[in-house]
Amino acid sequence: MFIPRIFLACTAAAVLAGICGCARNTAGGDAMKPVSFGKTADGTEVFLYTLKNRAGMEAKITNYGGLVVSLRVADRNGKLDDVVLGYDSLAGYLKETPYFGALIGRYGNRIRNGKFTLEGKEFVLAANNGPNHLHGGLKGFDKVVWTAEQVAAKDGPSLVLTYVSKDGDEGYPGTLTVKAVYTVTEANELTVEFTATTDKPTIVNLTHHSYFNLAGDNQDSTILNHVVMIDADRFTPTDSTLIPTGELKDVSGTPMDFRTPTAIGARINADDVQLKRAGGYDHNWVLNNTGKGMRLIARVTEPTTGRILEVLSAEPGLQFYTGNFLDGTIKGKYGRTYVHRYALCLEPQHFPDSPNQPAFPPVVLRPGTTYTNRIVYAFSAK
C-alpha cells in the first residue's frame, strides 16, 4: 500500500513553531539543520540555528548579530516557554531593535562623547546615544553577519560565530578578530564565550544583550514581580546622560542594594535621583569577588512559574537594565506588545566609559594577548 509522506519544509517559521525535524548530535543534544532566516539589506542570506539539549531546553540563534531569537526553558512543571524578547522574522530586527538578544561590541555600553585617547592618540566614535557612544556604534557587532559553524561540544550543542572587524571599523583602532561561542549545555545553561585578539592596541568590552521575561507564556505584564539578587556592595552612579560619574557608591540603604533578593517593583519608583535619571534600573554594579574567576553574580526568580535564572561571569561589572526605554511601540513575537519594563537585561561586562576613567578596571587589548569573557545564563525552576 502506498503511504503518502508529508515532508515539512524547514523554513524559519516552521523551526520557530517547533515542527521541523532534527538530528541527534554526538553530545546528546539536538543539532537541527540551519534554516534560512532571510536576507539583510545588502542581500546576504543569514540563517537560524537551533541548539537543543536532552531535557528540551532550546535556543534559536541567527548569525545576523549573533541574536538569540528564542530561548525555551522549563518552568516548575517542566513546561517549556520562550523567555526572551525578539521578533518572529529578520525584518523586525532590520527595521528597529533595542539590541534584542544581541552580541554587543566592540564596546558594550556608553563611552562619553564617543571619544577616548589611547597611547596619546584620540579616537572618535559615533555619538549614537545622545552625546555618547553606545554598544559599538552605528553598525556594531549586533548588526553584522557572523561566520557560523555548528559543533557538538563536550558540554552540549554549540554555535561558533566568528567575525573580523577591520582596523578603523566604527572608529576603533586595530583589526579585531572575535569569536563568540554559544552552547546549550546539558545542565540547562546558555553559555556565551567570547575571545578576541588584535593587531594594534585597542579597547574591547563584549557582552550579551538578551531581554528576559521569565514568565514565558504567562508574560502578560512587566518584570516588576521578578525577584533579583546582585552580588555587589557598590555601583557606579551616572550623570544625566547615563555616563558614570567615577564614584563607586556603597549600595547600603539605597534602592540599588540587591544583596538580599528583592522584587524589582519594590523600589523602582522610589524618590531616588539615580532611578529618576535612568527611568528605572539602568546601572553598572561593581561586583564582589572580582579577580577570583567565574562566580555567581546575579539570580532572578519569577514567582508565578518558579523559573530561576542565575548569571555567572568573571567580569568586574554587571549592567542591570529594566527595559525602561520599552514604551509599547514595539510588537514582537507572538503578537506581544513590549510595554514599559516588560523585560530585563543582565550584561556582565567592564564598567561603562572605562576608556575615560583611569580608576576603572582597564579595557585595553594589546597584540599578543587574548580578551576573554565567558557568561553563563543557568536556568532552573522550583
- Catalogue the active-site residues: 209, 347
- b/e code 350-369 from CB counts within 10 Å (16+ = b): bbbbbbbbeebeebbbeeee
Tell me whether residue 188 or residue 349 sits nearer to ligand BGC (CB atom): 349
For 176, other C-beta atoms within 10 Å of its C-beta total 26
For 98, other C-beta atoms within 10 Å of its C-beta total 17
Tell me whether residue 58 or residue 282 sits nearer to ligand BGC (CB atom): 282
**Residue choice 45, 250, 295, 325 for contact with ligand BGC (CB under 6 A):** 325
Please tell me whether residue 315 binds ligand BGC under the rule CB under 6 A: no
Tell me whether residue 242 or residue 365 sits nearer to ligand BGC (CB atom): 242
Please tell me whether residue 189 binds ligand BGC under the rule CB under 6 A: no
98 to 137: interface string for ligand BGC, x by CB under 6 A: xx---------x----------------------------
Total chain residues near ligand BGC (CB under 6 A): 10
Torsion on CA atoms 133, 318, 194, 355, rounded to nearest 10: 40
Please tell me whether residue 321 binds ligand BGC under the rule CB under 6 A: yes
Any bridge partners for residue 48, and if so which?
35, 62
To ligand BGC, the closest distance from the beta carbon of 209 in angstroms equals: 6
Task: Considering only the stretches 40-48, 265-273, 318-326, 358-366, report the one whose residues sit in contact with ligand BGC under the rule CB under 6 A.
Answer: 318-326
**Cα(124)–Cα(274) distance, rounded to whole angstroms?**
28
**Cα(46)–Cα(179) distance, rounded to whole angstroms?**
18
What is the three-class DSSP state of 194? strand
Q: Which three cell numbers stand for residue 271?
A: 524618590
To ligand BGC, the closest distance from the beta carbon of 129 in angstroms equals: 8
Torsion on CA atoms 96, 99, 102, 108, rounded to nearest 10: 140
Q: In this structure, are strands 121-124 and 207-209 parallel, antiparallel, or unpaired? A: unpaired
To ligand BGC, the closest distance from the beta carbon of 267 in angstroms equals: 18
Any bridge partners for residue 60, and if so which?
50, 70
Question: Apex CA 126: angle with CA 121 and CA 129, to 5°?
Answer: 130
Please tell me whether residue 373 binds ligand BGC under the rule CB under 6 A: no
Tell me whether residue 207 or residue 305 sits nearer to ligand BGC (CB atom): 207
Ranges within 208-247 binding ligand BGC (CB under 6 A): 242
**Cα(11)–Cα(286) distance, rounded to whole angstroms?**
44
Name the phi and psi angles at 237, rounded to 5.
-60, 155
Please tell me whether residue 319 binds ligand BGC under the rule CB under 6 A: yes
Ranges within 276-295 binding ligand BGC (CB under 6 A): 282
Ranges within 344-363 binding ligand BGC (CB under 6 A): 345, 347
Ranges within 63-92 binding ligand BGC (CB under 6 A): none
To ligand BGC, the closest distance from the beta carbon of 20 in angstroms equals: 31
- b/e code 136-164 from CB counts within 10 Å (16+ = b): bbeebbbbbbbebebeebebbbbbbbebe
Strands (E) in 155-303, as ranges, are: 157-165, 176-184, 189-198, 202-203, 207-209, 227-230, 232-236, 249-250, 262-263, 282-287, 295-301
Task: Considering only the stretches 27-35, 160-168, 195-203, 319-327, report the one whose residues sit in contact with ligand BGC under the rule CB under 6 A.
Answer: 319-327
Residue type at position 158: S
To ligand BGC, the closest distance from the beta carbon of 347 in angstroms equals: 5
To ligand BGC, the closest distance from the beta carbon of 72 in angstroms equals: 23
Tell me whether residue 96 or residue 250 sits nearer to ligand BGC (CB atom): 96
To ligand BGC, the closest distance from the beta carbon of 98 in angstroms equals: 4
Tell me whether residue 109 or residue 197 sits nearer to ligand BGC (CB atom): 109
Tell me whether residue 16 or residue 298 sits nearer to ligand BGC (CB atom): 298
**Footprint on this chain of ligand BGC (rule: CB under 6 A):** 98-99, 109, 242, 282, 319, 321, 325, 345, 347
